Amino acid sequence: MDSSTSPSTKPLYRGTQIIWYLLGLLEILLAFRFILKLLGANMEAGFTSFVYGVTYIFTAPFLSVFNVSRVSGNVFEWTTLLAMFVYWIIAIGIIKLFLMGKTVSTSEAAVKLDEQ
């Protein structure tokens, strides 16, 4: 059976699409957080409050990793950049795990093994 016609190919493809979509959404929210902090956005504004509230849970594990850099009310939040990088690495790892479940032919496996 050709791996492109394997019944496991479509669910794996959909799974990777979902992971990329979720990562993209998270990265956009974290980018908004970073920019809002950098530009000293009003914390009482609805949009700012929403972005900080939604992204807090994703930045919380990284908050004490770096010191916060402040310049006259503006914050360069290194922790948000670190969170963005870590979640990107995690997404790539999950996708690699998904792809390990892909059906391969013996000849494909032999070629891949020789490449390693």
Q: Distance between CA 16 and CA 41 in Å, rounded?
A: 35
> What tokens were used for 91?
């997404």
Position 60, amino acid:
A
The pLDDT tens digits of the residues spanning 70-92 come to 888 789 999 999 999 999 999 99
The pLDDT tens digits of the residues spanning 15-72 come to 899 999 999 999 999 999 999 999 999 999 999 999 999 999 999 999 989 888 888 8
Closest alpha carbon to 26 in 51, 4, 47, 7 = 51
How high is the pLDDT of residue 55? 97
DSSP code at position 4 = G
